[in-house]
């Protein structure tokens, strides 16, 4: 039912009489004044004229301030937690709960919220001068990578976990370097040092209950102090030269020793072969002379004459001179002039001996009758 229907003498603003013209729009100033009066009565101000004007104006300002304060209070308690974060909520200083990802709200001044990144890896560098086991000073740069494994322990157990981690790192590194020689720190021992530092550092963090997981410890190139760096560089260069020369010597040794062993083995095998050959030849000669002795015992004159002729033939066949043996007369020397121009080379004594032995064997196997030739 509309407020301005016939029979109604009041408008909803209550500021006009029924006898007045109600066809126009409502008076906004009058409406605002009535709202102000109500607020004044609510917060201690009166609608009459007995109150002072300063007291009448203070009520609305106070109300607006309260509304703004409530809005700020509610807005201050809203916070966003990402997927890689966790929020630890403390109510009146005591642990309350852990919030996961999403939009959350907690009452300010009553609760405290600590948002911690639990998935991202963090790292920090460290550098310092340290004393080795052999009382040498070395400058060692190191980088520690870690993340938060227990967010509640990270927030509540240790006041400043990362500062504690730095102090524990310095302690672990100095403990390990103090039991290691300088050569290992400067060269091949860095990986073992990093592994030992990581293990010792994780033990410290677990004993503190800091909720930190050490992922990796990287030790960069260790360097001596600036004051003695040139001397250390000379030492390192000398060691590198020593290693290079050792490798070259080892390579030469690996090449020459097998070759010498091969030559030695070849000489041994040749000697064994020569030994077997000489023994076989000697055994053959022995057998031949035994067979020759048997034939000689059967026919001494024939055997002697045949051996003589064959020996003279083997000795004189390569000579340019011809010796004719005449029975009952002097030996006659015959010089073939047509063959002196094309003289054949003298045979090797070894080949002559072999030829003599073969002919002797043929003689023993199938003896032939001797035919005496006479030159007239």
CATH number at residue 172: 3.30.479.30
Please give the residue range of the domain that contains residue 179: 122-224
CA distance 5 to 124: 80
| End-of-domain residue from the set 192, 224, 256 | 224
Residues 89 and 108 in one domain: yes
Question: Is 130 found in the same domain as 143?
Answer: yes
Summarised one tens digit per residue, pLDDT across range 293-306 is 888 888 888 888 88
Torsion of the alpha carbons at 284, 286, 287 and 293, rounded to the nearest 10? 140
Of 195, 224, 253, the residue at which a domain comes to its end is: 224
- Based on the fold, state whether residues 106 and 194 are members of the same structural domain: no
Structure tokens at 159: 């006041």
Q: With b meaning 16 or more CB within 10 Å and e meaning fewer, what string describes 6-26? A: eeeeebeeeebeeeeeeeeee
Checking if the pLDDT of 353 tops 70, the result is no
Which has the higher per-residue pLDDT, 313 or 17? 313
Stretch 136-142: mean pLDDT: 83
Sign of the alpha-carbon torsion through 24, 30, 34, 36:
positive
Of 153, 151, 145, nearest to 85 (Cα)?
A: 151
Q: Is the domain of 129 the same as that of 211?
A: yes
Span 2-15, pLDDT tens digits: 545 555 455 554 44
Structural domain total, the chain:
3
User: Is 62 inside a domain boundary?
Assistant: no
Do 182 and 213 fall into the same domain?
yes
Task: Give me the DSSP letters along 153-165.
Answer: HHHHT-SSHHHHH
Question: Cβ distance 318 to 344 under 8 Å?
Answer: yes
92 and 140, same domain (yes or no)? no
| 318 within some domain | yes
Distance CA 43, CA 300 (A): 169
> Residues 55-88: pLDDT tens digits?
445 667 777 877 888 788 777 778 888 878 888 8
Taking a C-beta distance cutoff of 8 angstroms, is the pair 61, 67 a contact? no
* Residue 104 φ then ψ, to 5°: -130, 165
Q: Do residues 220 and 134 both lie within one domain? A: yes
Q: Is residue 101 assigned to a domain?
A: yes
pLDDT tens, residue by residue, 218-244: 887 777 777 777 777 787 788 888 989
For residue 94, is it within any domain?
yes
Check whether 367 has a pLDDT greater than 50: no
- Mark whether 145 and 214 lie in a shared domain: yes
């Amino acid at each position: 039912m509309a407020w301005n229907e016939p029979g109604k003498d009041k408008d909803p603003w209550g500021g006009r009489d029924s006898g007045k013209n109600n066809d126009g729009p409502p008076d906004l100033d009058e409406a605002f004044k009535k709202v102000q009066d109500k607020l004044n009565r609510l917060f201690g101000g009166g609608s009459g004229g007995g109150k002072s004007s300063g007291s009448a104006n203070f009520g609305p300002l106070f109300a607006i301030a309260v509304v703004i304060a409530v809005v700020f209070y509610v807005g201050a308690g809203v916070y966003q937690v990402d997927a890689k974060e966790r929020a630890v909520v403390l109510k009146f200083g005591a642990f309350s709960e852990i919030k996961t990802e999403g939009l959350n709200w907690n009452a300010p001044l009553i609760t405290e919220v600590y948002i911690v990144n639990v998935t991202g890896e963090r790292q920090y560098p460290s550098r310092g001068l340290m004393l080795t086991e052999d009382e040498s000073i070395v400058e060692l740069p190191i980088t520690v990578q870690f993340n938060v494994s227990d967010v509640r322990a990270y927030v509540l157990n240790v006041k400043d976990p990362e500062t504690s981690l730095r102090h524990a790192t310095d302690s672990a590194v100095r403990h390990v370097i103090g039991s290691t020689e300088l050569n290992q720190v400067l060269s091949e021992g860095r990986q073992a040092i990093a592994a030992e530092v990581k293990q010792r550092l994780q033990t410290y963090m677990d004993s503190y209950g800091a909720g930190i997981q050490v992922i990796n410890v990287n030790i960069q190139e260790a360097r001596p102090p600036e004051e003695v760096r040139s001397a250390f560089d000379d030492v390192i260069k000398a060691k590198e030269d020593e290693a290079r020369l050792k490798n070259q010597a080892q390579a030469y040794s690996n090449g020459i020793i097998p070759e010498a062993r091969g030559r030695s083995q070849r000489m041994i095998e040749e000697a064994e072969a020569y030994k077997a050959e000489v023994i076989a030849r000697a055994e053959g000669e022995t057998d031949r002379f035994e067979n020759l002795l048997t034939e000689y015992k059967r026919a001494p004159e024939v055997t002697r004459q045949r051996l003589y002729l064959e020996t003279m033939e083997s000795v004189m066949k390569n000579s340019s001179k011809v010796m004719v043996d005449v029975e009952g007369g002097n030996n006659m020397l015959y010089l073939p002039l047509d063959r002196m121009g094309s003289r054949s080379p003298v045979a090797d004594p070894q080949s002559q001996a072999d030829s003599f032995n073969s002919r002797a064997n043929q003689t023993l196997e199938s003896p032939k009758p001797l035919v005496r030739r006479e030159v007239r």
